[in-house]
């Protein structure tokens, strides 16, 4: 990998700028606590409930920050994105708010609710075969034909900065209780959520330790942190965490995360399913499998949070109803 110019990487100041753009548009999601969870883990645990964000996931933050930064003269040409579902809905919702046309390239096997909600938000949905076709190539071709702006899911400074507002809120809301985070765990696919949170948290609490949580077999971040290079997953599909199947960490995101993130952890589908069921039973929250990986890592003891103030990000709640029923039944 060629070293990236530092100018290409977002900073904590970019996260602050994103927070100003998102003020009054994105929801400031709560930090949820549970005595039961504290008892199981031995830590003082806070869950950042991005499941309650507009469109049901954190992705709205980055999408709105990116789209609202497009010059007014270029907005009429619209945007093109590629996503398994949460980025799709985030971009579609942001485009609708800003009066911009949107085309979303989605895998044909994406959960039906994600496809339907993306279309309901006014976006044009183009389906592709995840195993045989290249979503980036499809999206790029559409963007070139329409002279539209391509909105990547994670490898973009404005997307990363938008997701970073989560880290900013975590630190501010803990500080209001007289606390600093010792540990922050984020789910990781391409790494944009982790990178944004890391920028914001480390700027305010340098001693805080950040971790990624990924499904087993899709733990490219964990392996990349160990090797120091961007590793690739062998499989394209094969986990209930449909939101966490990116093949390799992003270029920009890994340039940030390898400097700021302590390490990565991997959880099994069974552990993720148990976390989905725990969130439903104990917290009355609906979390999709990909959104529950950080909670799963804590519940399974993959990260030692004993005696620590620790935060897990519940990154999305757009779960297929049939799968949800199976996991919580």
The enclosing domain of 257 has a CATH number of 3.40.50.1100
* Domain final position from 117, 151, 185: 151
Query: Residues 180, 228: one domain?
Result: yes
Contacts of the segment 304-309: beta carbons below 8 A, 24+ positions apart = 305/41, 305/42, 305/43, 305/45, 305/182, 305/183, 306/41, 306/42, 306/43, 307/42, 307/43, 308/43, 308/44, 308/182, 308/183, 309/43, 309/44, 309/46, 309/174, 309/179, 309/180, 309/181, 309/182, 309/183
In a domain, 1, yes or no: no
Query: Residues 46, 69: one domain?
Result: no
- Longest Cα–Cα distance of the chain, Å, equals 56
Distance CA 23, CA 42 (A): 35
Q: What domain count does the chain have? A: 2
Per-residue pLDDT of the chain (329 residues; tens, 9 = 90+): 344 555 589 999 999 999 999 999 999 999 999 999 999 999 999 999 999 999 999 999 999 999 999 999 999 999 999 987 899 999 999 999 999 999 999 989 888 888 899 999 999 999 999 889 999 999 999 999 999 999 999 999 999 999 999 999 999 999 999 999 999 999 999 999 999 999 999 999 999 999 999 999 999 999 999 999 999 999 988 999 989 999 999 999 999 999 999 899 999 999 999 999 999 999 999 999 999 999 999 999 999 999 999 999 999 999 999 999 999 99
| DSSP 8-state assignment for residue 5 | P
Query: Residues 136, 168: one domain?
Result: no
Distance CA 81, CA 241 (A): 20
Q: Residue 237 is encoded by which pair of tokens? A: 């599909």
Query: Residues 46, 141: one domain?
Result: no
Task: List the end-to-end C-alpha distance of the chain, in Å, as a whole number.
Answer: 46
In a domain, 274, yes or no: yes
Contact by Cβ (8 Å): 1, 251: yes
pLDDT at 109: 87
Name the E strands within the chain: 31-32, 44-49, 79-82, 102-107, 124-128, 149-151, 183-187, 209-215, 263-267, 309-314
Query: Residues 116, 211: one domain?
Result: no
Query: Residues 144, 163: one domain?
Result: no
* Domain final position from 102, 124, 151: 151
Beta-bridged to residue 57, according to DSSP, are 316
CA distances 40 to 82, 280, 282, Å, are: 38, 16, 12
Query: Residues 110, 50: one domain?
Result: no
pLDDT at 237: 87
Q: Residue 34 is encoded by which pair of tokens? A: 């549970």
B/e letters for 30-39, b = 16+ CB within 10 Å, e = fewer, are ebbebeebee
Q: Kind and range of the H or E element at 323?
A: helix 321-328
Contact by Cβ (8 Å): 275, 296: yes
Contact by Cβ (8 Å): 288, 275: no
Query: Residues 163, 271: one domain?
Result: yes
Task: Supply the range of the domain harboring residue 316.
Answer: 7-57+157-328
Query: Residues 186, 311: one domain?
Result: yes
| DSSP 8-state assignment for residue 316 | B
Contact by Cβ (8 Å): 127, 108: yes
In a domain, 14, yes or no: yes
In a domain, 2, yes or no: no
Contact by Cβ (8 Å): 66, 159: yes
Beta-bridged to residue 81, according to DSSP, are 104, 151
In a domain, 53, yes or no: yes
In a domain, 181, yes or no: yes
* Domain final position from 151, 175, 199: 151
Query: Residues 17, 147: one domain?
Result: no
Q: Is 149 left (phi over 0), alpha (psi -120 to 50) or beta?
A: beta
Query: Residues 165, 263: one domain?
Result: yes
Q: Kind and range of the H or E element at 328?
A: helix 321-328
In a domain, 122, yes or no: yes
pLDDT at 6: 56
Query: Residues 133, 241: one domain?
Result: no
């Amino acid at each position: 990998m060629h070293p990236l110019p530092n100018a290409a990487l977002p900073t904590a100041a970019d996260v602050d700028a994103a927070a100003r753009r998102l003020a009054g548009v994105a929801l400031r999601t709560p930090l949820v606590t549970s005595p039961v969870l504290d008892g199981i883990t031995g830590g003082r645990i806070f869950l950042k409930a991005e499941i309650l964000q507009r469109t049901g996931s954190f992705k709205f933050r980055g999408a709105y920050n990116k789209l609202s930064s497009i010059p007014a003269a270029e907005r009429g040409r619209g945007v093109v994105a590629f996503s398994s579902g949460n980025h799709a809905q985030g971009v579609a919702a942001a485009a609708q708010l800003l009066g911009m046309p949107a085309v979303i390239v989605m895998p044909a096997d994406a959960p039906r609710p994600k496809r339907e909600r993306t279309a309901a938000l006014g976006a044009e949905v183009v389906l592709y075969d995840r195993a045989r076709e290249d979503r980036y190539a499809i999206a790029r071709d559409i963007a070139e034909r329409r002279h539209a702006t391509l909105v990547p899911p994670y490898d973009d400074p404005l997307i990363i900065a938008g997701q970073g507002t989560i880290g900013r809120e975590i630190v501010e809301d803990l500080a209001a209780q007289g606390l600093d985070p010792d540990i922050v765990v984020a789910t990781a696919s391409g790494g944009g959520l982790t990178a944004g949170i890391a920028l914001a948290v480390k700027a305010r609490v340098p001693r805080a330790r950040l971790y990624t949580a990924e499904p087993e077999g899709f733990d490219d971040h964990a392996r990349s942190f160990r090797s120091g290079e961007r590793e690739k997953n062998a499989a394209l599909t094969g986990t209930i965490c449909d939101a966490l199947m990116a093949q390799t960490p992003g270029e920009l995101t890994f340039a940030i995360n390898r400097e700021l993130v302590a390490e990565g952890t991997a959880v099994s589908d069974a552990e993720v399913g148990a976390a989905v069921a725990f969130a439903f039973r104990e917290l009355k929250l609906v979390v999709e499998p990909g959104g529950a990986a950080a909670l799963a890592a804590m519940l399974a003891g993959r990260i030692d949070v004993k005696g620590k103030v620790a935060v897990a990000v519940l990154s999305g709640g757009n779960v297929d109803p049939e799968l949800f029923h199976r996991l919580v039944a």
